[in-house]
């Protein structure tokens, strides 16, 4: 199949070809697309990527396979659309939060960022959890890198604006904070997603971030 020629060494997507095939013009098709989107998440949740087939998605969405191919040139494009939408949601939420927190103190920043992150991730935990594991189909690392980079940059700017601290190696601190946030929530969602654990996360994560920021900033405060 020609598809395989698009990849150099891993399942790396060629963005141009991952875009939707056509944009809906009537109300009917907009509904269809939403149904497909929704069905995809459901199928992902009940069987993981390994069991996601075009037929199953179409079935669940109540449309025929052919319909799917009218909007997405292939399965990967569908998945890509899903992931991208999710990333954008979270990215926006975090951008809003960091903007709002500019110039405040370390405690406010730590708690604000941690809470915003938790809120964003939990808001559609369904989609988030569904999306973990899509990496089997195409290389997410590029997208994840970009997201991580964006987040680190936002946090870095935020730290620079803190009114009560400054850091010797602010970039590293921002990087570490992003890793702590992103990683801990992910691990809990994947390995131990219970109400109790989410409560713990909400209680402890902001404190942990705060403690780290204070410790990292202390050595440099006059």
Interface with DNA in residues 76-115 (CB under 7 A):
76
Query: What is d(CA 111, CA 118) in angstroms, rounded to the nearest whole number?
Result: 10
Tokens for 145? Answer: 């890198």
Neighbours of 217 (CB within 10 A): 19
Nearer Cβ to DNA (22/200): 22
Of 208, 206, 107, 219, which is closest to residue 167 (Cα–Cα)? 219
Query: What is d(CA 156, CA 151) in angstroms, rounded to the nearest whole number?
Result: 8
Among 156, 165, 185, 198, binds its own copies (CB under 8 A): 185
**Does 53 sit near DNA (CB under 7 A)?**
yes
**Does 8 sit near DNA (CB under 7 A)?**
no
**Does 18 sit near DNA (CB under 7 A)?**
no
Among 64, 88, 149, 171, binds DNA (CB under 7 A): 64
Binding window for DNA (CB under 7 A); candidates: 49-57, 89-97, 139-147, 213-221:
49-57
Task: Give the torsion through C-alpha atoms of 72, 26, 91, 79, to 10 deg.
Answer: -20
Interface with its own copies in residues 45-104 (CB under 8 A):
46-51
Which of its own copies, DNA, none interacts with 20 (beta carbon under 5 to 8 A by kind)? none
Among 100, 141, 160, 163, binds its own copies (CB under 8 A): 141
Phi (first) and psi of residue 156, to 5 degrees: -60, -50
**Does 75 sit near DNA (CB under 7 A)?**
yes
- Catalog residues that contact DNA under the rule CB under 7 A: 1, 3-4, 22, 24-29, 31-32, 51-55, 62-67, 69-70, 73-76
Residues of the shown chain interacting with its own copies in the complex, contacts defined by CB under 8 A: 9-11, 46-51, 132-133, 135-139, 141, 144-145, 147-149, 172-173, 175-176, 179-180, 182-188, 190-192, 197, 200-201, 203-205, 207-208, 210-212, 214-216
């Amino acid at each position: 199949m020609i598809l395989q020629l698009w990849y150099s060494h891993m399942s790396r997507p060629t963005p141009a070809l991952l875009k939707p095939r056509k944009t809906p013009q009537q109300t009917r098709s907009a509904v269809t697309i939403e149904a497909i989107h929704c069905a995809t998440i459901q199928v992902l949740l009940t069987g993981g990527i390994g069991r996601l087939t075009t037929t199953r998605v179409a079935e669940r969405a109540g449309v025929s396979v052919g319909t799917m191919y009218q909007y997405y040139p292939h399965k990967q494009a569908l998945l890509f659309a899903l992931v991208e939408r999710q990333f954008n949601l979270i990215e926006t939420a975090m951008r809003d939060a960091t903007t709002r927190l500019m110039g405040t103190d370390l405690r406010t920043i730590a708690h604000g960022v941690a809470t915003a992150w938790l809120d964003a991730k939990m808001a559609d935990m369904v989609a988030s959890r569904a999306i973990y594991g899509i990496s089997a189909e195409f290389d997410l690392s590029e997208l994840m890198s970009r997201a991580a980079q964006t987040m680190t940059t936002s946090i870095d700017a935020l730290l620079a604006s803190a009114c009560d601290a400054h850091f010797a190696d602010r970039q590293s601190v921002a990087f570490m904070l992003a890793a702590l946030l992103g990683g801990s929530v992910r691990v809990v969602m994947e390995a131990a997603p219970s109400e109790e654990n989410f409560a713990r996360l909400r209680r402890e994560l902001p404190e942990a971030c705060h403690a780290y920021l204070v410790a990292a900033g202390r050595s440099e405060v006059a």
